[in-house]
Amino acid sequence: MNANPTFAAASAQPGTTAPAAISITGLNKHYGAFHVLRDINLQVASGEIVVLCGPSGSGKSTLIRCINHLEQHTSGQIHVNGTLLTSRAEDVASVRRQLGMVFQSFNLFPHMTVLDNCTFALRLALKMSAKEAECTAREYLEKVRVIEQAAKFPTQLSGGQQQRVAIARALCLQPRIMLFDEPTSALDPESVGSVLRIMEDLAQTGITMICVTHEMGFARRVADRCVFMEGGQIIEEALAETFFTAPASDRLKNFIDQVL
């Protein structure tokens, strides 16, 4: 499903020859007595685009939040490019360096301009000079087509523009893997398109992506593989085309009937 030939080769056989960017084995997560994630096993190959879908409360967001340790898993293992994620600060830092995250509610820094939102981590986490950071930030703001808003504050932007800034902010740090947690769920239909286009462009670059989304059209066009979750479990995972045309389980069939 991908126009980029070098990338298409890697994605044609997910998880077989390409090294695993993310490897999750036997993952469990409890909130007190509530068992949110049950025995999750998921391999994501380098360069692969994976869409997580499923009804609300199925644990999709919790799963990707576990990958960058915003949530702590109860048992099981998460490897990110070979690094085992533990609660040690060095491991968390090393894993987060490889991951970019985009949130449903954008989570921009409200008191900083668009440009400062992007340069903030470059200066503090990567110790770039102010000039270098601005240069990098402008490059990515251009890519997500909000460069003309660079001097404005987040509240002065539309939702779609804010989300594109959030994407640029994450990309500035050149992560190898991007996590998207329902990036378009808080947007009006027009803005949804502008954000999805950016994500489609991004998918062409060979970056690894895991997206939690209800945009089934996007999943079908862009994803290499789709994963269906319900009740904290992975019910079914399949190559994108098979997922929509020949779902194996009744639950996925029902879900697809409802959302398409």
Partner 1 sequence: MHFDMQVAWDSLPKLLAGLGNTFTVLVPVLILGLLFAIPVALGRLKPGARSLPATIYVSVFRGVPSLVLLYLIYSGLPQFPIVRDTFLWTFFSNPYFCAWLGLALTHSGFMAEIIRGALAAIPPGTIEAAQTLGLTPRQILFRLRLPMAARYALKAYQNELLIMVKSTSAVSAITIIDLTAAANTVFDYTYDPFTPLLTAAAIYWCITNAIRLGCSAADRKFNRHLVRQ
- Where on the chain is the footprint of partner 1 (CB under 8 A)? 68, 70, 93, 96-97, 99-101, 103, 105, 107-112, 120-121, 124-126, 153-156, 166, 169-170, 173
Q: In the complex with partner 1, which residue's Cβ is closer, 84 or 124?
A: 124
Q: In the complex with partner 1, which residue's Cβ is closer, 93 or 259?
A: 93
Residues 10, 47: Cα–Cα separation, whole Å: 7
Give min distance, CB of 123 to partner 1, in A: 9
Residues 100, 21: Cα–Cα separation, whole Å: 13
Give min distance, CB of 39 to partner 1, in A: 26
Per the CB < 8 A criterion, the answer to whether 239 and 224 are in contact is yes
Give min distance, CB of 242 to partner 1, in A: 32
Give min distance, CB of 226 to partner 1, in A: 24
Residues 100, 193: Cα–Cα separation, whole Å: 21
Residues 35, 37: Cα–Cα separation, whole Å: 6
Question: Rounded to the nearest 5°, which phi and psi values hold at 210?
Answer: -120, 120
First to last CA, the chain: 19
Give min distance, CB of 215 to partner 1, in A: 21
Q: In the complex with partner 1, which residue's Cβ is closer, 1 or 186?
A: 186
Per the CB < 8 A criterion, the answer to whether 102 and 164 are in contact is no
Give min distance, CB of 26 to partner 1, in A: 24
Give min distance, CB of 155 to partner 1, in A: 6
Which residue in the block uniquely carries the two structure tokens 């036997």? 26
Q: In the complex with partner 1, which residue's Cβ is closer, 77 or 105?
A: 105
Q: DSSP E strands: which ranges in the chain?
A: 20-31, 34-45, 49-53, 75-80, 83-84, 99-102, 177-181, 208-212, 225-230, 233-239
Q: In the complex with partner 1, which residue's Cβ is closer, 29 or 169?
A: 169
Furthest C-alpha separation in the chain:
56
Q: In the complex with partner 1, which residue's Cβ is closer, 115 or 226?
A: 115
Residues 78, 21: Cα–Cα separation, whole Å: 10
Q: In the complex with partner 1, which residue's Cβ is closer, 166 or 240?
A: 166
Q: Shortest CA distance to 144 belongs to which of 100, 200, 213?
A: 200
DSSP state of 152: S
Q: Residue 194 has which token pair?
A: 């502008």
